[in-house]
Structure 1
């Protein structure tokens, strides 16, 4: 039958090696592509990351190379127990004056107890025993209590000059009342309340320089007050 067909039809129906090779290459490519798709779509096991609580990240993992770990610094500042501590100077009329190291959050009463207590007969009216101590401050026991504003004189000149109405010595920013602060030059009742609010929020004054941070006290007013007050 094949010999009776035209030559051009016989060439079309003939299977040549080149055609078989081309067809094989196409089939191999199709099989390889299908295998690659199957392999990429296979199910894989997923590792769930460990849950880290806030604040539980090790300090060594975040500290730069060569820097001491935060735990070491905290341990050195807080003592063997790891608790934070403060250093205060207790002076005046106490049995054992000197520098004392107390737990953070201690009050004036704790500092007095660490210094052996107040000497008998000492007037502590102007001392706020419930005040929270701050690191580096000085607790003076038996200092003269500051009189109320304009108590130093009753004549027409009272309150007319800087420091009028103030007692001897600088006024303590850590224990002064609003009325006593109101007697300072250039300080009214509003600014006096700002000073007390600042003291309450910070737990006291560490230095007179912190008075600059009180709302309403500029450089000029601070220059007038710096010699009239103490922490």
Structure 2
């Protein structure tokens, strides 16, 4: 009798274990199914929102940009990128502002910028045809002559773009035209101290007079 009782207990125990295993397995399958369904539902929702967003979204407008060269009496001269509706005062501010020597009465800070334009802020007392330089640099002309530097209007920064012309000689060129008037021909630049025949030959094809 005791043997049968123990056997029955073992069978009952095994049945309980089997029932527990089956129940756990079924529950796990239901959880996996629920998770899978929720995941699919979430993916469908995200996809739907993306499709809706693509239809509703307006094309982004890219602001037009231009590049200009500002030199002269600004704290940091150079080529900068600006918005197409910007004015000279905006470019000057971006370059750190004016120096204490800037002649604000001879430059129109309210003028609109033109792509490829060269804007010069003159020094007080400096004899330079600012307006002529603006027009020359901003008209977009690409011919070879306009690519040359006008020694009658160029500032020191522009003059130093010429090979062999440093701060001292650039200043002498400016002082020469202030004292003697505009150069009548490019050969006259040899009258400036420091510019001999050899240096002139190196720059003659890069300069012009108006």
TM-score class normalised by the smaller sequence: 0.3 to 0.5
Higher relative contact order (CA 8 A, sep 6+): 2
TM-score by length of 2: 0.34
Bigger-Rg structure (1/2): 1
Higher share in helix: 2
